[in-house]
Amino acid sequence: MAIRKKSTKSPPVLSHEFILQNHADIVSCVAMVFLLGLMFEITAKASIIFVTLQYNVTLPATEEQATESTSLYYYGIKDLATVFFYMLVAIIIHAIIQEYVLDKINRRMHFSKTKHSKFNESGQLSAFYLFSCIWGTFILISENYISDPTILWRAYPHNLMTFQMKFFYIAQLAYWFHAFPELYFQKTKKEDIPRQLVYIGLYLFHIAGAYLLNLNHLGLVLLVLHYFVEFLFHISRLFYFSDEKYQKGFSLWAVLFVLGRLLTLILSVLTVGFGLARAENQKLDFSAGNFNVLAVRIAVLASICITQAFMMWKFINFQLRRWREHSTFQAPVVKKKPTVTKGRSSRKGTENGVNGTVTSNGADSPRNRKEKSS
């Protein structure tokens, strides 16, 4: 009889497990296609839309500025292609941090599945928040935002941006768009996906709103402020996972979180409610990028206030849950003292059992049987 060989079917090239294990390599190949396209004249025009910033305007040097001509940028539909390319770059960087930093720490610490996912989340976000804070602070200092706060609303609309400013917003949009496929790549639990989608959507809504409404100056200040507070929370959570006795970082974060919400509301009302409301040009002009009308100002302030109220509500619930867990953990166990009665009955009761209840061992003991027979 001829022995039939078992047919070993090779898995499909783009199977589910294959994509999860090699998604960084696949994304790297796609990104390399755009970079290699710059080397050939036929594809260079198409590839340059994805790789470099678009819509630049060269302003000649003036008498006040003795320097050379400067290049400024405005936004347009081609920015979507640039955001897509740097979204691929964000996925690659995410995989590098995960494989060469976080996975090595996880193997040493032996975290549970819940702590493992939270540790990865805090590790990725703390790296992003730190980088964005440093980059945003550099832009604030270089463009004199700190020395002159009126620049937040003066000379609106801010439709022309420097290279650093536009690249910062492109990178922010690319990072938060990359968070959607990462939910699939990181095998996020179904019960955690709604929470992730909510805060990803909030980030994209506010960053894109500041970018499209030419409120990039105000958006940059609020992002740096918010990212600093969030960085403190996630770095504190990383220390907490290594040592559960560490609580000082959370206490400092709680104070700065409340102050951050107050500063966000103050700067928003000061810029939109007072600065832009007193501007001379208050006509809706899409070609000039002017959105300084009453309806837009109310919508901007309403979205900021609602978001801050939502964050405070989540913060209060988080603090109440922590206090309850802390109080139940430290609550002393109250032991009831046995009641002592007078006379022979108390002694007999204690011999028979605990607190007067008769146990089988006490009732059937040899001593009790001897007393009954006598």
Task: Note the pLDDT tens digit of each residue in 163-192.
Answer: 999 999 999 999 999 999 999 888 888 888
117, pLDDT greater than 60:
yes
pLDDT in the model for residue 133: 96
Domain chopping of the chain, boundaries: 52-59+69-328
155, pLDDT greater than 70:
yes
**Cα angle 338, 339, 342; round to 5:** 135
pLDDT in the model for residue 337: 54
Instruction: Give the pLDDT confidence of 118-136 residue by residue, as tens digits.
Output: 899 999 999 999 999 999 9
Instruction: Give the pLDDT confidence of 251-261 residue by residue, as tens digits.
Output: 899 999 999 99
Query: How many CA atoms within 13 Å lie on the side-chain side of 305?
Result: 10
Using alpha carbons, list the distances in angstroms from residue 299 to 45, 157, 214, 221, 291: 39, 17, 14, 19, 11
pLDDT in the model for residue 351: 42
User: Which region, left, alpha or beta, applies to residue 359 given φ > 0 means left and ψ of -120 to 50 means alpha?
Assistant: beta
pLDDT in the model for residue 296: 95
Confidence band of 52 (pLDDT split at 50, 70, 90) = very high
- Helices 113-142 and 79-97: crossing angle in degrees, nearest 10, is 130
Residue 4 or residue 158, greater confidence: 158
Residue type present at position 346: S
- Tell me the C-alpha distance between 363 and 365, whole Å: 6
The phi and psi torsions of 336 (rounded to 5 degrees) equal -80, 130
39, pLDDT greater than 50:
yes
**How many residues appear in the chain?**
374
DSSP string, 151-171: GGTTT-----B-HHHHHHHHH
368, pLDDT greater than 50:
no
Token pair of 73 as six digits: 């940028």
- Tell me the C-alpha distance between 111 and 103, whole Å: 11
249, pLDDT greater than 70:
yes
- Tell me the C-alpha distance between 240 and 242, whole Å: 5
1, pLDDT greater than 80:
no
Residue 149 or residue 334, greater confidence: 149
Range with the poorest average pLDDT among 7-11, 154-158, 303-307 = 7-11
Q: Are 277 and 297 in contact (CB under 8 A)?
A: yes
The candidate with the shortest Cα–Cα distance to 115, out of 27, 237, 30, 200, is: 237
pLDDT in the model for residue 334: 52
Instruction: Give the pLDDT confidence of 197-232 residue by residue, as tens digits.
Output: 999 999 999 999 999 999 999 999 999 999 999 999
Mean pLDDT, all residues of the chain: 83
350, pLDDT greater than 50:
no
- First-to-final CA distance of the chain: 91
Q: What's the predicted TM-score (pTM) here?
A: 0.81
Token pair of 1 as six digits: 């009889």
- Tell me the C-alpha distance between 75 and 87, whole Å: 18
360, pLDDT greater than 90:
no
pLDDT in the model for residue 9: 52
Using alpha carbons, list the distances in angstroms from residue 327 to 248, 252, 331: 17, 20, 6
What percent of the chain has pLDDT above 70?
A: 80
The sign of the torsion formed by the CA atoms of 210, 211, 217, 219 equals positive
Range with the poorest average pLDDT among 15-19, 164-168, 335-339, 346-350 = 346-350
Q: At a CB cut-off of 8 Å and minimum separation 6, what does 325 contact?
A: none
Residue 324 or residue 67, greater confidence: 324
The β-bridge partners of 161 are 73
pLDDT in the model for residue 165: 95
Q: What is the mean pLDDT of residues 265-275?
A: 94
196, pLDDT greater than 70:
yes
Confidence band of 358 (pLDDT split at 50, 70, 90) = very low
Q: Are 260 and 254 in contact (CB under 8 A)?
A: no
Instruction: Give the pLDDT confidence of 287-334 residue by residue, as tens digits.
Output: 888 999 999 999 999 999 999 999 999 999 988 887 887 777 665 555
